[in-house]
Structure 1
Amino acid sequence: MTASPTHVIVGAGLAGANAARALREEGFDGRIVLIGDEADLPYDRPPLSKQYLRGETSPDDIRVLDADGWSQLDVDLVLGAAVTSVDIDGRHVTFGNGTTVGWDRLLLATGAEPRALPVRGGDLPGVHLLRRLADADRLRAALQRADRIVVVGAGWLGSEVAASARQMGVQVSLVEMGSVPLARTLGERVGSIYRDLHASNGVALHMRASVTAILGDRRATGVQLHDGTVLPADLVVVGVGVRPRAQLASRVGLAVGNGNGIEVDAELQTSAPGIYAAGDVASAWHPVLNRRLRVEHWANAIHQGRVAAANMLGANRPYDRQPYFFSDQYDLGMELTGHPDPAMEVVFRGDPSDGAFMAFWLADGRVSAAMNANIWDVTDTLRELVESGRPIASERLADPSEPLDALVSS
């Protein structure tokens, strides 16, 4: 490494932005170049489907730092620019205009991009994908003019957009191939809670349904389902998942796992020494779960970015955190710790119909994931419970008189 090294971060989302901050906090005094293909300063994405979409927050409210903050950190921000190639041997990146920047350590935090709906009419005006600040601005303006919309996909994004649209007074039809919202993440029993939540708030649910076409001549006017049902709409929101933006890594020969992101080891280093990856694009070896895990959540981007920064400076720190996620829909707020599998046994503490409960996903009698819904200040304890890996009787988990701390310590 040179006497005055340069560390380059490609991707100015949460992972990249937090890596840049962490480099300074860890004492790095060389040059930091943070490159993003959006023109906006780095920002939090979760509000884009919730508070920001509803007009309750401004761009200033969701920024990681303002321009002065980045200047004080002495980070060279290069925004609205795309890196087109990486020279691993020559250690430099190249922009579309031919400009190059050399690096001593490189972090790829290129994130993910939303999947389009591969049906006739999928590219019509009035069909919205939501990933970036500009997407949210367009969708919010469209929602303010709309009377009725169709949301395709009842994962986290689709469910949150549906909830926000209803809170804005728009009629919503929610289309999902699964039996309940969020079934692929939470399973049938917990997903049914969200089904009932949306139904009670006036959403027209179309479960076990697929879209065969988006209708309209000059713009989207409705959605046709597999059984011939037509759902009229002023606009259509597609939330059918994302794909990791690993094209740059693939082009330069880094290990990319079958479309599931850039493969990194437990210390977030890629197959090329000195190059790291973090956030939505990273398929990381998890030393506790003993398998690769690619997590598309806010907390993962923050913490992986920070660990990657430390390891760029030689810390050799494994990334072994349990996944964490949160969601707010209507009056139900939740936090999820761990990695649930829909096939796992689920144990409830409290009655979900009361609006405040916990859910535990069990594998071989051990808690693999835990969710607290409208019950707060228990996340740290639930994380300890998941990390403990000890068998716990279902009866104790379900018993509200049994203190959570006792479950962790016993």
Structure 2
Amino acid sequence: MKSGGVVIVGGGHAAAELAAHLVQNGYEERVSIISEEDRAPYHRPPLSKGVLDGAQQPEEIALRPERFYEERGIQLLLGRKVVRVDPQAREVLLDDGSSVRFEKLVIATGAAPVVPPIEGADLPGVCTLRSLEDAISLREAFGRSSRVLLVGGGYVGLEVAASARRMGLEVAVLEAGAEVMSRSVSPTIGAFMRRIHEGKGVEMNLRARVEKIEGDSRCRGVTTADGMVHEADLVVLGVGAAPRDELGVECGLACDRGIRVDEFGFTGVPGIHAIGDCSVIHESGRDEGLRLESVSGAVGQARRLAAHLTGRPDPGRDIFNFWTHQYDYKVQVAGLPGGDWATEIAGNMDEGAFAVYHTDEEGRVQVVEAVNQPSAFVRGKAAIRKGAPVPGG
């Protein structure tokens, strides 16, 4: 039986960042990362962009070289799956029959793509994107396809659409809502990016609810609720991701759209923590749980937990932020959406470089959305931190 101080289950940004900061903060016991994937943690954002269109190779997206972990004594148990957790014995059992003891267990299993319960979702030619293997398979499928249909108009789906267009494929997007990227950005930004895609030749369909994926031995298209058939020889499902909280359920942890934790990743069960996309944060002063679902959110949770496990000062929670890159447009967002806030646009939308500021009733910036204006993003984020009005200049 192997033994370890902190055992981290998961191989994404949250896991890698936690391990690195534990060691950096002087943690002296063993740190182990157990990942179902057979490679060290890597950057996920390039999967729908550079990796998919061939601009980046798999070896270029590693978060850190493997020697980083070796030199710091971080144990990587790759290609292994945790099949059972015994909280009382503080032990995890792996699918190869081995077991690992822990003093602290951190669940960082991330999220999995949602596959809607519709007929034909299991047909060959229907894909999802979450891992490097998914991206490689999808890139190969692009080479065998002529028309790709994206089910879901979130930012990952639109990144895939942009990659497909760059590779010369015909692309259509089916979005059930009134605008694309509605869970991530304001209607102003969503409409702007939709027009960019349309200008690149992408067929955009709003309020298009998928009823069935057509095909026999392979998908041939999609039927929507209005009876229209949208032909395609490749369908990519991008309707969201569900937290992988199965281990939390097995451990008897409170789970509700993710493993419930406080702002420090504590689950309420001694010795067991959760961070990243598998968790939902319940903070004092907020009525609903918060799922950050971003690299910055995962990294922030990891750093706070590392500080608490090593007795270091709490670095605090950074302002939520995320970005998406589609064609030549980089959209950066900081802040969490709230109530019926006022909106102010700075810059030139026609030239594709502008920022949208959302302010509360006292004129303080709560959210900034910047398109090809990194300086406006930085100034807006600073204004949010200070509780200041829209910055000038």
TM-score range normalised by the length of the shorter chain? over 0.9
2:260 aligns with 263
2:295 aligns with 298
Q: Write the deviation string for residues 363-388 of structure 1: whole angstroms up to 9, x where unpaired.
A: 32332210121112444432221123
Identity of aligned residues (%): 37
- Are the aligned partners of 1:186 and 1:342 in contact in 2 as well (CA < 8 Å)? no
2:26 aligns with 27
> 1:176 corresponds to which letter in structure 2?
E
User: Mapping of 1:239-318 within 5 angstroms?
Assistant: 239-257=238-256, 260-286=257-283, 292-315=289-312, 317=314
Q: Write the deviation string for residues 335-361 of structure 1: whole angstroms up to 9, x where unpaired.
A: 111112485433211222210000112
> 1:163 corresponds to which letter in structure 2?
A
Asked whether 1:358 is paired with 2:355, we answer yes
2:178 aligns with 179
- Are the aligned partners of 1:267 and 1:318 in contact in 2 as well (CA < 8 Å)? no
Asked whether 1:208 is paired with 2:207, we answer yes
C-alpha separation in 2, matches of 1:102 and 1:14: 23
Shift of residue 269, structure 1, vs aligned partner: 1.0
> 2:261 corresponds to which letter in structure 1?
V
Deviates more, 1:190-199 or 1:304-313: 304-313
- Are the aligned partners of 1:268 and 1:319 in contact in 2 as well (CA < 8 Å)? no
1:375 aligns with 373
C-alpha separation in 2, matches of 1:241 and 1:46: 15
1:339 aligns with 336
C-alpha separation in 2, matches of 1:199 and 1:273: 52
Q: Write the deviation string for residues 186-237 of structure 1: whole angstroms up to 9, x where unpaired.
A: 2322211111111111000110111111111111111111111111111000
Deviates more, 1:101-110 or 1:360-369: 360-369
- Are the aligned partners of 2:175 and 2:208 in contact in 1 as well (CA < 8 Å)? yes
C-alpha separation in 2, matches of 1:339 and 1:58: 33
Shift of residue 326, structure 1, vs aligned partner: 0.7
Shift of residue 318, structure 1, vs aligned partner: 6.6
2:188 aligns with 189
Shift of residue 289, structure 1, vs aligned partner: 6.0
The number of equivalent residue pairs is 390
Instruction: Give the unaligned 5+ runs of structure 2.
Output: none
C-alpha separation in 1, matches of 2:317 and 2:299: 14
> 2:277 corresponds to which letter in structure 1?
D
Shift of residue 288, structure 1, vs aligned partner: 7.7
SS at match of 1:292: coil
C-alpha separation in 1, matches of 2:103 and 2:360: 43
Shift of residue 286, structure 1, vs aligned partner: 4.2
User: Mapping of 1:45-60 within 5 angstroms?
Assistant: 45-60=44-59
- Are the aligned partners of 2:4 and 2:100 in contact in 1 as well (CA < 8 Å)? no
Task: Give RMSD over aligned pairs.
Answer: 1.9
- Are the aligned partners of 1:297 and 1:325 in contact in 2 as well (CA < 8 Å)? yes
2:227 aligns with 228
Instruction: Give the unaligned 5+ runs of structure 1.
Output: 404-410
> 1:189 corresponds to which letter in structure 2?
T
Asked whether 1:110 is paired with 2:117, we answer no
Asked whether 1:323 is paired with 2:320, we answer yes
> 1:346 corresponds to which letter in structure 2?
T
C-alpha separation in 2, matches of 1:346 and 1:178: 22
What's the TM-score once normalised by structure 2's chain length?
A: 0.94
SS at match of 2:123: coil
Deviates more, 1:369-378 or 1:141-150: 369-378
C-alpha separation in 2, matches of 1:279 and 1:122: 28
C-alpha separation in 1, matches of 2:320 and 2:246: 25
SS at match of 1:77: strand
Deviates more, 1:245-254 or 1:373-382: 373-382
- Are the aligned partners of 1:222 and 1:231 in contact in 2 as well (CA < 8 Å)? yes
What's the TM-score once normalised by structure 1's chain length?
A: 0.90
C-alpha separation in 1, matches of 2:240 and 2:343: 25
> 1:369 corresponds to which letter in structure 2?
V
Q: Aligned in 2, Cα 1:380/1:48: closer, same or farther, shift over 3 Å?
A: same
- Are the aligned partners of 1:14 and 1:43 in contact in 2 as well (CA < 8 Å)? yes
> 2:157 corresponds to which letter in structure 1?
G
C-alpha separation in 2, matches of 1:196 and 1:286: 38
C-alpha separation in 1, matches of 2:170 and 2:128: 19
